[in-house]
A and B are shown apart, each in its own frame.
Chain A
Amino acid sequence: MKYVDEFRDPVKARVLLGEIRKLSAAISRNRTRPLQIMEVCGGHTHSIFRYGIQQMLPDEVEFVHGPGCPVCVLPMGRVDDCVALAERPEVIFTTFGDAMRVPGSRKSLLKAKADGADVRMVYSPLDALAIARKHPDREVIFFGLGFETTMPSTAMTVIEARKQGVRNFSLFCNHITIIPTIKAILDSPDLHLDGFLGPGHVSMVIGTTTYDFITRHYHKPITIAGFEPLDVLHALWMVLKQIDDGRCEVENQYGRVVPAHGNPNALAAIHEVYELREFFEWRGLGSIDHSGVRLRESYAAFDAERKFEVPNIRIADPKACQCGEVLKGVIKPHQCKVFGTACTPETPLGSLMVSTEGACAAYYNYGRTDMPLVGVDAGG
Chain B
Amino acid sequence: MRKGTSRSAVLALAAMVSLPAAAAAQAGEVVVGNISAMTGPTSGTHMMCQSGSREYLEYLNQQGGIAGKDGKVKVKYLAYDSQYVATKAKDGFSRLLEQKMAVWTQCASAHSDALIPDYEAAQVPLVTGSHGIASLYSDWAYGNYHSGIANMIRTWIVWEKAVWEKAGKPGGTLVLGTVTSDEPFVPLALWDIDAFAQQQGVKLVKETFPKGTTDAGPQLLRLKDAGVKQIYVIASATGAVVVLKSAKALGLKIPMTQCAAATLGDVIALGGPELAEGYQGEYFFEPMSKDPALGGSPGLKLARELWAKNHGKEAPNDMYVNGVLSGMVIAEGIRHALDAVPPGKLTGAAIKHGLDQVSGFTGMGLTQPITYAKDDHIGQKQVRYWVVVKKGYVEPVSDWMPTTTYRIPRK
Task: Check if A and B associate.
Answer: no
B residues with a Cβ closer than 8 A to A are none
